[in-house]
Chains A and B, each alone.
Chain A
Amino acid sequence: MRRTVPLWITAIAGVALVISAFLPATRGWGEDVATWFSILAAVAFVLGGGNLLKVHLRKISDRQSGWGYSSIVLACFFATLWVGLFKVGVHPNPKYPDVAYSGQTQGIGSPFWWLYEYAFKPLTSTMFAMLAFYVASAAFRAFRAKNVEAVLLLGTAFIILLGRTFAGVVLTGWIPADGAFAGLRLENLSVYVMQVFNTAGNRAIIIGIALGIASTSLKILLGIDRSYLGSGD
């Protein structure tokens, strides 16, 4: 029961989508199943929030190291939920000013907007900006031209790095732009590398991955591959 029912659900949902791709009459199923899927995707956000709550509440209750930070996490979490779910300070939709909750979730000037604009946005984008620094130190300490492969990799990287900036224009500007060797100008070379070599490599990878995904999906639909069930209990 615990095992077979999920297998059936998987098979039916999946097969419905596959069929609906081919039989116009059944297109409706596909759409419904997809809509339900999107609803579950939204519910998954709730699940995420719940997990967060569990983890950090435990940390706090056990007074684990850094439990203070956990309390900050929860404070921010609840603050965001409160102002967001109750649309605190959000003006109603001008078309229906009498319905308090008709306004935009992220109405400009509302606390929810404020949290996004001045906490969420700068923090997330800075997190990723950090990588610029790490890539620099890695360039100095880790990227070695050990063998032919590494040389090819780094060489291409140079072409792209230089060719995709004004440096390329300066370095190889002396090559006549309309001569037979114009293709050797860094900016053109970078385009050429992308459109021939990169395309070739990625095509092969993409084709391989597509085959992999198709066979995995097949195994899942037929219940041959049940690894995802392992994460249940």
Chain B
Amino acid sequence: MNARVLAWTVILLIATALLVWRASTGLGMAKVYVEAEEVSFVEVTVPPPPGAAADETSKTLWLPADSTEVRRYATPAQRDAAISWTELQQVPPKAYFEAQAADPNQTAIVLSWPRTIGIWIAAIFTLSIFSFLYRDNPFYRVAEAVVVGVSAGYWMVVGFWDVIIPNLLGKLMPEFVKANFLPGLNATGVEWAYLVPLVFGIMLVWRLMPKGGWISLWPLAFIVGTTAGLRMVGYIEGDFLSQVSSSVIPVINPIEAPGGGTDVMATIWASLRNVLLLAGILACLTYFFFSVEHKGGVGKIARVGIWYLMITFGAAFGFTVMGRIALLAARLEFLFNDWLWLIDPTDQRGVANAAAMVIGGV
């Protein structure tokens, strides 16, 4: 036990030392810069455009303070009531370096502490997860706990703002939603039909109650029924019929030669291809045919089928491996590029430094 603690402390110390060294060489590492920009909006009454239909009236809407409409039609009172805030635009570090070179005490582009800390946290989490490869350890546990908590919360929030508000409350209490959340909503009266999903929704959440879990069966039944209905048609149409229909191909497939007549070689290849395809489909179907014993002829065909399936799985295997590796590559790129600033493929900091930094120069 003590040995393990010791091992970890040593590892951590070495890592910290390396980081300190890295941070102190070259341009340093893991810094995010932002440019502040002031945006301001004025509520202005804009008359209908010349030539507009008789029934068009003037609109009152919020527009950027520097827009033509504001310049023309805004009253002083409206100008004074302007609403404004500053937005932070993330800029590549090289923009900061250039700005600094131009004017050492510029304040337009500044270091963003929240985002810089963010990069560090992200990197630490990444490493904590990887540390699981060595053995299960507290760092991994913490990272896992965080991902569980954050993702659950994330999905709830997104579901609430993107679906519940516009598609449920927006239909049941449009005026309220319009006034407080979605001014853009075109409120066309209350749609009482949406009481049904509301009630179902409540029943679904009821499952959290200690008693009466059966209540949640009703919405569950609805969900199951809908899925079943959707899939029954969808799969027969999209999978069954279409797949069969696109398998109806000639086993002899004459290919026109550019000069006219049939290109023998091409024809043979094309035909062979179709034959193999069809044979495969039929053989595999035979393997998945459960009414007959796999003996004699059927057995042989089924065996061919299993071979096809194995090749299919081999392909899937290859592609899956490929995918996993790509994901790993992406993570390492994050560590090397965004955090350690060792490489600079997207030219965030100026290519000149990228190579030099690795050697630790500049």
Q: Residues of A with Cβ closer than 8 Å to B?
A: 2, 5-7, 9-18, 21, 32-52, 54, 66, 69-70, 72-81, 84-85, 87, 91-99, 101-102, 105-106, 108-109, 112, 114-133, 135, 148-150, 152-161, 164, 180, 183, 190, 192-194, 196-211, 213-214, 216-218, 220-221, 228-229, 231-233
Closest 6 CB pairs of A and B: A156-B314, A200-B280, A160-B318, A80-B153, A201-B312, A76-B149
Residues of A within 8 A of B261 (CB): none
- Docked Cα-Cα span, A124 to B230, in Å, equals 31
11 more A-B residue pairs beyond the given contacts A87-B161, A129-B324, A203-B284, with a C-beta to C-beta distance below 8 A: A18-B232, A72-B145, A76-B145, A84-B154, A105-B162, A114-B118, A128-B324, A133-B328, A135-B321, A161-B322, A197-B312
Residues of A within 8 A of B306 (CB): 149
Task: State the main secondary structure of chain A at its contact with B.
Answer: helix
- Nearest B residue (CB) for A38: B163
- Docked Cα-Cα span, A39 to B166, in Å, equals 10
Question: Is the beta-carbon distance between B153 and A77 smaller than 8 angstroms?
Answer: yes
Residues of B within 8 A of A35 (CB): 167, 197
Question: Is the beta-carbon distance between A40 and B223 smaller than 8 angstroms?
Answer: yes
Question: Is the beta-carbon distance between B118 and A117 smaller than 8 angstroms?
Answer: yes
- Nearest A residue (CB) for B232: A217
Interface centre among B193, B213, B314 (most CB of A within 10 A): B314
A53 to chain B, nearest CB (A): 8
Residues of B within 8 A of A122 (CB): 122-123, 125-126, 331, 334
Complex partner residue of A132 from B205, B229, B327, CB under 8 angstroms: B327
Q: Flag whether B252 is at the interface (Cβ < 8 A).
A: no
B238 to chain A, nearest CB (A): 8
- B286-323 Cβ-contact flags toward A at 8 Å (1 or 0): 01100000000000000001111111111111111110
- B87-112 Cβ-contact flags toward A at 8 Å (1 or 0): 11010000000000000000000000
Question: Is the beta-carbon distance between A197 and B315 smaller than 8 angstroms?
Answer: yes
Question: Is the beta-carbon distance between B229 and A18 smaller than 8 angstroms?
Answer: yes
Question: Is the beta-carbon distance between A81 and B232 smaller than 8 angstroms?
Answer: no
23 pairs, CB–CB < 8 Å, chain A vs chain B: A5-B221, A35-B167, A40-B200, A44-B204, A73-B149, A77-B148, A81-B153, A84-B158, A93-B183, A125-B331, A126-B125, A126-B126, A132-B327, A156-B310, A156-B311, A193-B311, A200-B279, A204-B281, A204-B305, A214-B236, A231-B220, A232-B213, A232-B214
- B59-86 Cβ-contact flags toward A at 8 Å (1 or 0): 0011010000000000000000001010
Residues of A within 8 A of B278 (CB): 200
